[in-house]
Amino acid sequence: MHRELLPENLPALPKRPLAAHKGNFGHVYVLGGSMEMGGALSLAALAAYRAGAGLVTGIGHPQSQAYFAAHLPEATWMDWPPRLASSLPDDGVLALGPGLGQGLAAHDLVREAAALPQRRVWDADALNILARFGPGILQGGGERICTPHPGEAARLLHSTAATVQADREAAIAALVRRYGGVWVLKGEGTLVSDGSLLGRCPWGNPGMATGGSGDVLTGLIAGLWAQGLRALEAASLAVCIHARAGDLAADELGEASLLARDILAQIPRVLQNWRIS
- The residue segments making up the domain with residue 259 are 24-272
Asked whether residue 3 is domain-assigned, the answer is no
Q: In this predicted structure, what is the pLDDT of residue 277?
A: 62
Quick one: how far is CA 274 from the chain centroid?
20
Q: Measuring CA to CA, how many Å separate 148 from each of 36, 161, 185?
A: 21, 11, 6
> What integer pLDDT is reported at residue 97 of this predicted model?
97
Residue-level pLDDT at 141: 79
Contacts of 82 (CB under 8 A, 6+ apart): none
Q: Is residue 221 part of a domain?
A: yes
* Assigned domain for 241 exists: yes
pLDDT digits (tens, 9 = 90+) for 62-94: 999 998 999 999 999 999 987 888 889 999 999
User: Which residues of the chain have a pLDDT value below 50?
Assistant: none
Count of helix runs (H) and strand runs (E) in the chain = 10, 10
pLDDT the model gives residue 200: 97
State residue 2's pLDDT score: 83
Q: How many domains does the chain have?
A: 1
In tens, the pLDDT along 125-169 reads 999 999 999 999 998 778 999 999 999 999 999 999 999 999 999
Considering the domain boundaries, does residue 13 fall inside one?
no
**pLDDT score at 189:** 96
* CATH number for the domain that contains residue 49: 3.40.1190.20
Residue 200 placed within a domain: yes
- Closest to 46 measured CA to CA, from 72, 66, 79, 68: 72
pLDDT at residue number 6: 86
5 is a domain residue: no
Concatenating the DSSP letter of every residue in 43-64 gives HHHHHHHHTT-SEEEEEE-GGG
In a domain, 131, yes or no: yes
- List the beta bridge partners of residue 76: 57
| Ordered DSSP codes for 208-245 | G-STTHHHHHHHHHHHHHHTT--HHHHHHHHHHHHHHH
Asked, for residue 53, whether it belongs to a domain, the answer is yes
Q: Quote the pTM value.
A: 0.97
